[in-house]
Amino acid sequence: MSTITLTINGQQVTVPAGSTILKAAEKLGVFIPTLCHHPQLTAVASCRICVVEVTFKGRKKLVPACMTGAQDGMEVETESAAVVESRRTILELLLANHPQDCLTCGQNGDCRLQDYAFRYNVPGAGFSGERHAYKIEDDNPFIIRDMNKCILCGRCVRMCAEIQGDGVIDFAHRGFNTKISTAMDLPLSKSECVFCGNCAAVCPVGALQEKGLRSSARTWEVKKVKTICPYCGTGCSIELNVKDGRVVGVTSCDGEVNGPALCVKGRFGYGFIHHPDRLTTPLIKKNGRFVEASWEETISLVAEKLTGIKNDHGPDALAVLSSARCTNEENYLLQKFTRAVLGTNNIDHCARL
Amino acid sequence: MTNSIDEIAGADFILAIGTNTTETHPVIALQVKKAVRQGAKLAVIDPRVTKLAELADYHLQLNPGTDCALLNGLANVIIAEELWDKDFVAHRTEDFASFRQWVSGYTPQYVERVTGIPADVIYKLAREYAGAENAAILYTMGLTQHISGTANVHAVANLAMLCGQVGKKHSGVNPLRGQNNVQGACDMGALPDVLTGYQKVTSDEVRAKFARAWKVDTLPASAGLTVGEMMAGTQKGCIKAMYIVGENPVLSDANAGDVKEALQKLDFLVVQDIFLTETARLADVVLPAASFAEKEGTFTNTERRVQKVRKAIAPMGRARADWEIICLLAGAMGYTMNYQSPAEIMDEIASLTPSYGGISHARLEKGSLQWPCPNKDHPGTPVLHKEKFVRGRGKFHRAEYIPPQELPDQEYPLLLCTGRRLYHYHTGTMTLRTGALEKYYPGEYLDVNPIDARKWKLTPGCRVRVISRRGEVELVVRITDTIPPGMVFTSFHFPEVPINNLTNPAQDPIAKIPELKVCSVRLELL
């Protein structure tokens, strides 16, 4: 494969031909801010926050790093005075029409706009002018959609079209009135939206927030534990967001099977974990009613009953249903228990249902 | 699946049969949609107009339960027009001559009469499938939940072998499995006739190996009972006690009314679950289990990928992980199961299961592995049957069409089909308790075609009693032309609509799968 060698902030780096400046910078560990860029989506270079100063063939100019191909002999400056000035202006323009409600915003602490405003010391809007006053869309149990916070990066649009493959949302109107909209500007709940929440997962600001997660924990309070979704057989990776010993939400990570995508059940179907109906103690039925019991009492009762029936009627009078919901290790142990301890092959599960 | 999920997007042709992929496997459906965007042809065989069907180049709304005839019809055309992969058939398969002979009866004209699919569509589809460079077949319970379920799957396999569409990337025979670890539960031998990795209980050698490892004198030698047979055995009084872990047969099994009656006849029923399910309510003893978020272990997905499940929180109250409960119970019955962790259990699985031989929790921490993974250095197997089939040559099985056991008649004039909805899952035990999904999709409907609605004088939102020979439920009517005339459809997610009280427990003779997709019903307006 042919390669390209360029210089970024005085350091040489060699990358495969066709790489962008952003890719080359990543290889060096040099940070370049991005908003509209997402590694799994088409590059559109619309936000321009990733501009870098490139000197090439005697010419010097600002180019978007996410879209510009690296060339042999390029010299790139990622934080030159011109770059910083340009980024600050972009941030001032964005903040001129962005609610400054970070104190109560659920995305606080995990917001690119906030990060870059801090990094480039942009305390607020450098410009004053008209502001949007869209109604916050809150009529579904999954996603809060606040278009006042939208920076029009279009990540959600591309996610819905390119990964989810549904194309439920797109840019509508022109100029200052441009907004991300469903067909006929209906709420998501009245559109073809299937609430996978993949748009919210890639929103770099607080315009699209997972309702449960963002209202129950600050972003820095959660510990993320990567595991596998408990629903269908696809095996998507999910991150359980845990605060004070409680699962308060699910986020997607770059799963081996699912990449950044999840479905509505995987992303929003976690509430059963802490549901008050959860069984928390062994129960023994006495006179037709369940009575709480200790593990010792319960296990000895079960052992005694199963042993008794096995002795009186033979092992094949016993039957076990295992579970497609349990782990491999548990299914293994249960069939071992059935065969080695109970002494029967009467074990099955719901593979046929 | 013979192949992997991410290969679907690279197929040139996708034949999706009996799978409502966008609702039941939404993330796998993303791969199908991607393939279509990249120019692949998609054929959907399904009586209903699913979202997937809307994306398809060909949507074959066949008569329910006639899949086998249709698949044989495709093979018939492919052979008659000499479009089959002669090299693959000659070197990789057996019994082609007999296949060719019996499939010759499935002429497109005959198949049109059986399936309702016009002969010219059968010709076109057959040519497209045979002509594709890489063609993948996807299927789900729409194909298998029939008394002819095994024949249907054989017909799929025959078609793939006929065209050499197996054993290479972006092709294959790909059942999309419905539950997080249904593949793993099968792999682990939670089945009446096999131990782990499908090692037969009837083999003396296999039993001797496991008996040695488990330190017992003997292991039972004859195959045990399947779910349906257990319930029948309970009715007859042969089964006296059951231990049910993480299942809700009172709602999920066919002819569920009889299942409930059977469980009530038991001398002793233990249910281990995370909720007091409809089944658990019948138990003598209920054992509280930890949810997936509260334990370590592994799940194996539909593409045979073994992945690590990690503990995020402590079990609720005094609940315990299922593996710990099983160890306690074994101990109380005089058999020591002493494991420090699920990782140790996996080591034992690997030592007894060739296809899991190279799998350990330590390796899975670095990334998942697809079985077969026979040793520690093996990278796993994304595509099965590359050089040869497990049995050597791929066998063309005789797969004759048999109509569903119970079809509409004068007394029960409509066909009831059941399935899943996007927002819910199985018997609703989890999804009806999320604080979100059940708010958005709070109740169930009976989907009815407008023609039938006029015939039975139904209006949107009216309530009807749906009655089969086995039971009845009440449902709200939703009129939609996504359902063909003569069919009604609903899900089995809602306890207040125990639709499986109506379904037909008639089984496929080999797989013992009940015919959940077809039974006949009548409606009464309430």
pLDDT digits over A256-313, tens only?
A: 999 999 999 999 999 999 999 999 999 999 999 999 999 999 999 999 999 999 999 9
* Residue range(s) in chain B whose domain bears CATH number 2.40.40.20: 414-525
| Residue A75 tokens, joined | 């010299």
Q: Which residues neighbour B324 within 8 Å (Cβ) at sequence distance 6 or greater?
A: none
Cα distance between residue A206 and residue A214, in whole Å = 9
Determine contact, residues A321/B230, Cβ cutoff 8 Å: yes
Cα distance between residue A142 and residue B437, in whole Å = 8
Tell me which chain B residue has its CA closest to the CA of residue A268.
B436
Which helix (H) or strand (E) segment is A295 a member of? helix A295-313
- The CATH number of whichever domain residue A70 belongs to comes to 3.10.20.740
Does residue A237 sit within a domain? yes
Q: Walk across the sheet containing B172-175 and list its strands.
A: B58-60, B41-45, B13-17, B135-139, B172-175
A273 with A241, same domain?
yes
Distance of CA B137 to the CA centre of its chain: 15
Picking from B145, B196, B239, B285 by the largest number of A CB atoms within 10 A of its own CB, the best residue to mutate is: B285
Cα distance between residue A131 and residue A97, in whole Å = 5
**A104 CA: distance to closest CA in chain B (Å):** 23
A257 with A316, same domain?
no
Question: Which phi and psi (to 5°) does residue A310 adopt?
Answer: -60, -45
Cα distance between residue A167 and residue B492, in whole Å = 30
Beta bridge partner(s), residue B136: B14, B172
Cα distance between residue B505 and residue A198, in whole Å = 40
Q: Which residues neighbour B379 within 8 Å (Cβ) at sequence distance 6 or greater?
A: B369, B373
| Residue A99 tokens, joined | 């609610």
Q: What is the pLDDT of residue B254?
A: 86
Terminal-residue alpha carbon distance, chain A:
50
* Residue range(s) in chain B whose domain bears CATH number 3.40.228.10: 5-176
Q: Which residue shows structure tokens 């992980």? A: B321
Cα distance between residue B87 and residue B84, in whole Å = 9
A7 with A74, same domain?
yes
Which helix (H) or strand (E) segment is B476 a member of? strand B472-479
Determine contact, residues A318/B239, Cβ cutoff 8 Å: yes
pLDDT digits over A204-226, tens only?
A: 999 999 999 999 999 999 999 99
Cα distance between residue A269 and residue A182, in whole Å = 24
Does residue A274 sit within a domain? yes
Q: Which domain-ending residue is among A52, A79, A106?
A: A79
Which helix (H) or strand (E) segment is A216 a member of? helix A211-216
**A304 CA: distance to closest CA in chain B (Å):** 8
Contact A348 B191 (CB under 8 A): yes
* Cβ under 8 Å to B: A residues 263-292: 263-266, 268-275, 277-285, 290
* Cβ under 8 Å to B: A residues 158-217: 163-166, 189, 194-196, 211-212
| Residue A336 tokens, joined | 């071992």
ipTM above 0.90, yes or no: yes
Supply the mean pLDDT for chain A: 96
Question: Which phi and psi (to 5°) does residue B518 adopt?
Answer: -140, 120
Cα distance between residue B82 and residue A209, in whole Å = 57
Angstrom distances, CA of residue B144 to CA of B50, B54, B109, B517 = 18, 23, 25, 9
Determine whether B496 is exposed, middle or buried from the number of CB atoms within 10 Å of its CB (0-12, 13-18, 19+): exposed
Contact A309 B240 (CB under 8 A): yes
Q: Which string of DSSP letters, residue by residue, matches B196-228?
A: GGG-BTT-HHHHHHHHHHHT-S----S----HH
Q: Which residues of chain B have pLDDT under 50?
A: none
Does residue A17 sit within a domain? yes
Q: What is the pLDDT of residue B257?
A: 87
Encoded amino acid at A338, one letter: T
Angstrom distances, CA of residue B313 to CA of A248, B293, B388 = 11, 6, 45
Q: Which CATH class is domain B414-525?
A: mainly beta
A244 with A311, same domain?
no
Determine contact, residues A21/A52, Cβ cutoff 8 Å: yes
Facing A328 at nearest CB: one of B178, B187, B267: B187
Q: Which residue shows structure tokens 């996708």? A: B14
Angstrom distances, CA of residue A202 to CA of A25, A35, A158, B260 = 22, 10, 10, 47
| Residue B510 tokens, joined | 């080999």
Facing A326 at nearest CB: one of B29, B196, B245: B245
Contact A272 B433 (CB under 8 A): yes
Angstrom distances, CA of residue B340 to CA of A92, A177, A340, B185, B337 = 57, 62, 20, 21, 10
Number of CB atoms found within 10 A of residue A275's CB? 17
Number of CB atoms found within 10 A of residue B25's CB? 26
Cα distance between residue A210 and residue A189, in whole Å = 15
Total residues found in chain A within this entry: 353
- Tell me the CB-side half-sphere exposure of residue B94, using CA atoms within 13 A: 7
| Residue B266 tokens, joined | 């038991």
Q: Which domain-ending residue is among A50, A79, A108?
A: A79
Cα distance between residue B370 and residue B389, in whole Å = 17
Does residue A74 sit within a domain? yes
What is the span of the domain harbouring residue A47?
3-79
Signed CA dihedral, B510, B513, A228, B36: sign only? positive
A265 with A301, same domain?
no
Cα distance between residue B365 and residue A14, in whole Å = 31
Determine contact, residues B499/B491, Cβ cutoff 8 Å: yes
* Residue range(s) in chain B whose domain bears CATH number 3.40.50.740: 182-370
Strands annotated E in chain A: 3-8, 11-16, 51-56, 59-64, 75-77, 143-145, 169-172, 179-182, 208-210, 223-228, 237-243, 246-251, 283-286, 289-292, 318-321, 347-348
| Residue A182 tokens, joined | 């469903």
Cα distance between residue A54 and residue A52, in whole Å = 6
User: Which CATH fold topology does B182-370 show?
Assistant: Rossmann fold (3.40.50)
Question: What pLDDT band is residue A35 in, cutting at 50, 70 and 90?
Answer: very high
Cα distance between residue B487 and residue B204, in whole Å = 49
Q: Which CATH class is domain B5-176?
A: alpha beta
Q: Is A226 on the interface with B (CB under 8 A)?
A: yes
Which residue, B241, B313, B299, B236, is CA-closest to B270?
Answer: B241
Does residue A248 sit within a domain? yes
Coil, helix or strand at residue B136: strand
Q: Which residues neighbour B91 within 8 Å (Cβ) at sequence distance 6 or greater?
A: none
Which helix (H) or strand (E) segment is B137 a member of? strand B135-139
| Residue B465 tokens, joined | 């009693």
Facing A346 at nearest CB: one of B192, B284, B440: B192
Question: Which phi and psi (to 5°) does residue B285 adopt?
Answer: -135, 135
Mean pLDDT of A315-320: 98
Which residue, B296, B292, B271, is CA-closest to B282?
Answer: B271
Contact A233 B230 (CB under 8 A): no
- Chain A environment of B326 (Cβ under 8 Å): 330, 333-334, 337
**Is the per-residue pLDDT at A125 higher than 80?**
no
Q: Is A232 on the interface with B (CB under 8 A)?
A: yes
Contact B227 A325 (CB under 8 A): no
Contact A329 B323 (CB under 8 A): yes
Per DSSP, A160 falls in state: I
Does residue A177 sit within a domain? no
Coil, helix or strand at residue A243: strand
**B435 CA: distance to closest CA in chain A (Å):** 6
Q: Is A228 on the interface with B (CB under 8 A)?
A: yes
pLDDT digits over B311-342, tens only?
A: 999 999 999 999 999 999 999 999 999 999 99
Number of CB atoms found within 10 A of residue B374's CB? 17
Does residue A307 sit within a domain? yes
Q: Which domain-ending residue is among A63, A79, A95?
A: A79
Please count the structural domains in chain A: 3
Q: What is the pLDDT of residue B255?
A: 87
Q: Which residues neighbour B431 within 8 Å (Cβ) at sequence distance 6 or greater?
A: A265, A269, A272, B423, B424, B425, B437, B438, B493
